Amino acid sequence: MNKTITLNDGYEIPILGLGTFLARDEECERAVAFALTHGYDHIDTAQGYRNELQVGNGWKASGRTREEIFITTKITYGNQDYDATVESFQKSLADLQTEYVDLLLIHWPNVKAFDNTLDVWRALIDLQAQGLVRSIGVSNFTIPLLERLLAESSVVPAVNQVEFHTFLYQKELLSYCREKGIQIEAYSPIAKAKLFDNEVLQKTAKKYSKTPAQIMLAWLLNHNLVAIPKSTDEERILENADIFFEFDAEDLNALDNLEPRTRLVRELGVFDD
């Protein structure tokens, strides 16, 4: 679980993290503290999740030092200008009870007013220059949106956090991001547990004595992608970490070609596939 990937800015990101989307109140605090005392080093949150304070309480309760853990948060879509980004990030730091975050992302691009998104990106660049953020990146960016960003900025995002799983193998996006030095980070990595009955997935799980969720997560790691499965259940948090094994080439190929292709998250007019 100590495996990391080096980003384009030289910082390292743990390949496995705990997602906290929809985690609330004491349940969120307990999950974060449990994960950090049971092998996890990486916690993912966002302003829009409305749980940054609970994540802060959780990492504090874990007894871990700040330097030992990796914290990601994201600027919400409602803070789509420079000043709102800077101001809201100060609150994020206060709630997270930290002087810096390891990774700060633009949560959603504004496809109808992309100049606003560029303003947010400029704010992230300045926050990084001030030492308040180590790495900066984006989330939910398609190739055309990444191209628009890179056309206006010489700073290449370190990460693009997107929906990515065995039923949404975005080969073209992955190839593009690797060419540009952008690390793909997978949210909804088990497709919200909606496709576990897939025959190939079931067969592979039986062969490796794993659950379908573990197979889906291990598939991401086999492709050197960062995964952030969300759970507040202690048993599931441990299960989601027992995924460090390699597939036979034949099994990996079968998982690469699962059907049906399924996108579960469609918001703000970003995706049209």
* Active-site residue list: 49
For the chain, strand residue ranges (E) read 4-6, 12-14, 18-19, 42-44, 70-75, 101-106, 133-139, 159-163, 183-187, 226-227
Task: Compute the distance between CA of residue 271 and CA of residue 139 in angstroms, rounded to an integer.
Answer: 13
In order of 71, 78, 137, the CA distances from 97 in angstroms are 11, 22, 21
Helix, strand and coil content of the chain, in percent to the nearest 5, comes to: 45, 15, 40
Task: Compute the distance between CA of residue 164 and CA of residue 143 in angstroms, rounded to an integer.
Answer: 14
Residue 4: strand, helix, or coil: strand
Beta-strand relationship, 183-187 and 226-227: parallel
